[in-house]
Structure 1
Amino acid sequence: MRIEYHRTLIADHARNDAFFRALKAVIEPGKTIVADIGAGTGLLGLMASKLGAKEVFLFETAEVAGVATEVLMANKAKSCHLIPCHSTEFDDKLTVDVIVSETLGNYALEENIIATMSDARARFLKRKGHIIPQAIVQFVAPVISPRIDDELRVWSRVGNGIDLSAAQYLTMNNAYVRQLATEELLDGGKSAVAWDSVDLTRDVRSKRKGEAEWRVSRSTRIYGFAVWWEATLQSGIVLSTAPSAPRTHWEQLYFPLSAPIDVKSRERIGVELRSRSSESAGTHLAWTAIHKNANGEVIAKQAHDLDKGYLP
């Protein structure tokens, strides 16, 4: 992994400030022991050290661990200990007061934060200890702007009588990282629905499923769905990737439709979302759009699956 990715993290002041405030809320100087999982260049671990943590254990497996070692030395962080393995592979005894992990992706769960935090909480965390983040809520809203849809339909505009519909099919079974404006969403995003809620303070499944539905007040064309998340780091400290939130290095996910859906006034548009994530198999996403009439009867469905978007 090139250093450029980590530069974007360091440049994300909204992210850094939220994690600093969360660490400050739970660290008791001279007493608190912290585990930083997925430490990267060591920023969060150093924050904990500067806030007075007694000891900080930083877990990092990527090549950037070498950079983190130099960073810790340059900052004379004698209380910080870099452990060059994934926390789930660490077999020695470790007991900490705080676990912090910024292993969040544009799709919140793509870096396996559920399994990672579950394992660390069970094996390392003291009773009444703290974890950062505590919870993640995922939101979804219909997209009413054709901007991204137009971009994705380039296959059908090649002309010269050439049929590239097979490639178009693959394109429409992919999810896209994009920055969306509130005006590109139904009701300006105000009617966004929380389709999934993850409590990281207890055992939850990495396999997620949820749904949402909207009754439109006027005829509207729906081009796809936008998904984003909010993470509660500690009480009152929330980090959000919503279009209306302060900009971060994360963006929203756009889930396209094979064909735009024209929804008349009082009709309903719904979506079912499913995901499963693991270290070995990666992240799998699927989404089904459901168009219903004013009486709630299904008019049509469109099913999409990320697995169908890969080249055979």
Structure 2
Amino acid sequence: MGSYQNGVVAGDRSGTSNGGGAPVPVVDKELDFAQYFCTYAFLYHQKEMLSDRVRMDAYYNSVFQNKHHFKGKTVLDVGTGSGILAIWSAQAGARKVYAVEATKMSEHARALVKANNLEGVVEVIEGSMEDVTLPEKVDVIISEWMGYFLLRESMFDSVICARDRWLKPTGIMYPSHARMWMAPIRTGLSEKKISDYEGAMDDWHHFTNETKTCYGVDMSVLTKPFSEEQKKYYLQTSSWNNLHPHQVIGTAALVKEIDCLTATVDDILKVRSNISSSITLENTRFCGFGGWFDVHFRGRKEDPAQKEIELTTAPSFDNGTHWGQQVFLVNPTIRVTEGDNLNFSFLMIRSKENHRLMEVELGCEVRQCSGNVLPAFNKKYYIE
């Protein structure tokens, strides 16, 4: 899940557009590597992803149940990591696979390719996608680019870059489509977060009193900024969670749908949606929203998959995924019942401080089946 600096990087084609005509902000390449790419250079992180059976099964099945897309074809693996997708592509019959990786994980990928006797097919290339030059166009681009709630990490930018530069006009994207979902949930996490925030403030007041008594310095002037800092951490930062389906209390709403063959960076810089959900449980607490995604391997209209495969990160009775779900808590919680409707607005943009992190604004109005309308609320969240 990582191999390209978003848009223009230091020293690379300043002023390049992002595919939608607008100039892309300059991103410091060294800072971006330190904040993001370095994590993917460690085998423990690769192991976490490789141990995700939902993830692995979906990609494995999409390749080996659709060998006609790979047999005798050229493939580009964007952000190859350990090289597993490149290896599968070769095992499915690809003529040539270019496996691009921005970190020193490329050395491990190269060793893995050699150990599986595929060095004649798979070529591992170390470098960012923006910098890499291939000797030919490719028939297939495969990548596991999805971050938390789909777009965190902004790695899809690299896939768009690779597609626009190297995919043949008849080429296929793996995955081909992606969707973002949200649904109302119930959880005890809301009370815990409030308790944690209150505990942090109690500790701060003890600290300021002790500092003034013991050392003669009054630090109470910093109480407000400390409180704001802790509110952001405990009450406004979305939480990673593996929700149980029984925690979902209403219908799931489609937030965003992406066609990986045609999407531009402009399409994902700002995700805006006005959606609704109906409560499906009697007399329960609306504690927040759960957000997840799914991706599909459908091929393209002119060359469809023989077997369409879905990878979903929705709340599951069985195995969860390492992505889990993002939970956006509501404080205070709201009593709702079956038949109530939630009308909510959703806006997600990239953080100004770090383009790989996200900021979300959620507004919600509860229309009760009795006809009453509860006061609307608006809240800002951070996906960090």
Q: TM-score if structure 1 supplies the norm length?
A: 0.87
Q: Is 1:73 paired with 2:114?
A: yes
Q: In 1, distance between residues paired with 2:227 and 2:344?
A: 24
Q: TM-score, length-normalised on structure 2?
A: 0.71
Q: Which residue of 2 aligns with 1:306?
A: 382
Q: Which residue of 2 aligns with 1:109?
A: 151
Residue of structure 1 equivalent to 2:231: 169
Stretch moving more, 217-226 or 80-89: 217-226
* Residue 140 of structure 2 corresponds to residue 98 of structure 1: yes
What displacement does 1:264 show? 6.0
- State yes or no: 1:288 paired with 2:362: yes
User: What is the CA deviation profile of residues 84-119 of structure 1, one whole-angstrom value per residue up to 9, with x for unaligned ones?
Assistant: 112222244431111001011222112324322222
Q: Deviations over 1:2-22 (max 9, x none)?
A: 311111222122222221222
Letter in 1 for 2:359: L
Structure 1 residue corresponding to 2:124, chosen from 82, 97, 101:
82
Q: Structure 1 stretches of 5 or more lacking a match? A: none
Q: Does 1:63 align with 2:127?
A: no
Matched, 1:122 2:198: no
Q: Paired residue for 2:314?
A: 242
Summarize the Cα distance change of 1:134–1:265 in structure 2 as closer, same or farther, 3 Å threshold. closer
Residues 161 and 209 from structure 1, CA distance in 2 versus in 1: closer, same or farther, beyond 3 angstroms?
Answer: closer
Paired AA for residue 127 in structure 1: P
Give the share of equivalent positions with the same residue, in percent.
20
Q: What SS class does the counterpart of residue 357 from structure 2 fall into? A: strand
Task: Establish whether residue 12 from structure 1 lines up as the match of residue 52 from structure 2.
Answer: yes
Q: What is the 5 A alignment of 1:158-237?
A: 162=205, 165-170=227-232, 171-187=234-250, 191-204=251-264, 205-206=267-268, 207-216=270-279, 218-234=282-298, 235=305, 236-237=308-309
Cα distance in structure 2, aligned partners of 1:121 and 1:284: 24
Q: For the Cα contact (< 8 Å) 1:276–1:284, is it kept in 2?
A: yes
- The equivalent position to 2:85 in structure 1, one of 44, 51, 55, is 44
Q: Would the alpha carbon gap of residues 16 and 27 (structure 1) be closer, same or farther in structure 2, given more than 3 Å must change? A: farther
RMSD: 2.7
Task: Tell me, in whole angstroms, the C-alpha distance in 2 between the residues paired with 1:70 and 1:288.
Answer: 46
- Checking the alignment, whether the CA contact within 8 Å between 1:269 and 1:289 is kept in structure 2 is no
Cross-structure match for 2:333: 260
Query: Counterpart amino acid of 1:192?
Result: A
The change in CA–CA distance for 1:268 and 1:165 in structure 2 (over 3 A counts) is farther
Corresponding residue number in structure 1 for 2:213: none
Indicate if the aligned counterparts of 1:263 and 1:269 stay in contact, CA closer than 8 A: no
1:219, distance to aligned residue in structure 2 (A): 4.1
Q: Cα–Cα, structure 1 residues 29 and 253, in superposed 2: closer, same or farther, change >3 Å?
A: closer
Structure number with bigger Rg: 2
Shifted more, 53-62 versus 121-130: the winner is 121-130
